[in-house]
Homo-oligomer: A and B are copies of this chain.
Amino acid sequence: MTTGVRRRMAVEERRRQLIGVALELFSHRSPDEVSIDEIAAAAGISRPLVYHYFPGKLSLYEAALKRAAEDLAERFVEPHEGPLGARLLRVMGRFFDFVDEHGPGFSALMRGGPAVAGTLGRDADAAVNANALIDSVRQAAYEEILRHLGITEPPARLELVIRSWVSLAESTALIWLDGRRIPRAELELQLVHDFAALTAVSAAYDTEMAAILTGILAEEPADGPFGDLVARLVALAPR
């Protein structure tokens, strides 16, 4: 290994470490409350050395956002084995792990990522980048769920159900973070049920969606999340 390669790896390693430290700090407080001094101290290096790797807090914040976005997108990846309800439930567990780990940072980003970036750099480009990152995670989640359904050319109504469910997962997580008044395990299961419910509402008025719903339910065990929901709803229904 030449010295040049070794040096480049050391630089990459140091950048990775700094991004990790910054992400940890940005996850727990709003970015404008986190100083470069604090990041330097947490990383055990000097302030000038931080600037050697990143020109400013905005670029470090952007790198941390990118790391978080990649991490979040990965949580949606799930083996294509077993019934869909159980798969979605595992995905929701990892999604809430992420939300739990990055609470205030997730909240600040989703409630006003661009505004947050604005307070750092007053830079419209940074705002647009944050929005683009969030959209890329949504798109990855959407495509992953389509793959689980085994559908390559989704009808408009299915696209709507999946995309609006992804947005429902976001808003449910944000509401949960605001006081954590409902156990998260309950909400993970609820979101899986919500997916079935939104699909069922669409299926009630569209034969193509009805065929997709029937296909999903055919693979579900009676004691899985979907089977359990149907049994409880039937018990609730007015007779």
Q: Which chain B residue has the least Cβ–Cβ distance from A182?
A: B156
B217 x A232 contact (CB < 8 A): no
A123 x B122 contact (CB < 8 A): yes
Q: List 5 A-B contacts (CB under 8 A).
A: A111-B131, A118-B124, A200-B236, A210-B236, A230-B237
Q: Would you give the 0/1 interface string for A171-202, flagging 1 where the beta carbon is closer than 8 Å to chain B?
A: 11001100101100011011001100110111
Minimum-distance CB pairs A-B, first 9: A167-B171, A197-B197, A204-B232, A156-B181, A118-B124, A115-B127, A114-B114, A114-B115, A193-B201
A204 x B181 contact (CB < 8 A): no
| Complex interface: chain B residues within 8 A of A187 (CB) | 160
A229 x B217 contact (CB < 8 A): no
| Complex interface: chain B residues within 8 A of A210 (CB) | 236
CA distance A40 to B12 in the complex (A): 53
CA distance A46 to B160 in the complex (A): 45
CA distance A119 to B127 in the complex (A): 9
Q: Is the interface of A mostly helix, strand, loop or mixed?
A: helix
Copies held by the complex: 2
Please tell me if A35 contacts chain B, counting CB pairs below 8 Å: no
Are A205 and B186 CB-contacts (below 8 A) given A171-B167, A233-B200? Answer: yes
- Besides A197-B197, A200-B236, A205-B232, 13 other A-B contacts (C-beta < 8 A): A111-B131, A114-B127, A118-B118, A118-B122, A118-B124, A163-B171, A164-B171, A167-B170, A193-B201, A193-B204, A197-B201, A214-B236, A230-B237
| Complex interface: chain B residues within 8 A of A186 (CB) | 205
Which residues of chain A have a CB within 8 Å of any CB of chain B?
A: 111-112, 114-115, 118-119, 122-124, 127-128, 131, 156-157, 159-160, 163-164, 167-168, 170-172, 175-176, 179, 181-182, 186-187, 189-190, 193-194, 197-198, 200-205, 210, 213-214, 217-218, 229-230, 232-234, 236-238
Contact residue among B127, B156, B182 (Cβ-Cβ distance under 8 Å from A127): B127
| Complex interface: chain B residues within 8 A of A234 (CB) | 237
B160 x A172 contact (CB < 8 A): yes
B111 x A118 contact (CB < 8 A): no
Q: Which chain B residue has the least Cβ–Cβ distance from A128?
A: B115
| Complex interface: chain B residues within 8 A of A127 (CB) | 112, 114-115, 118, 127
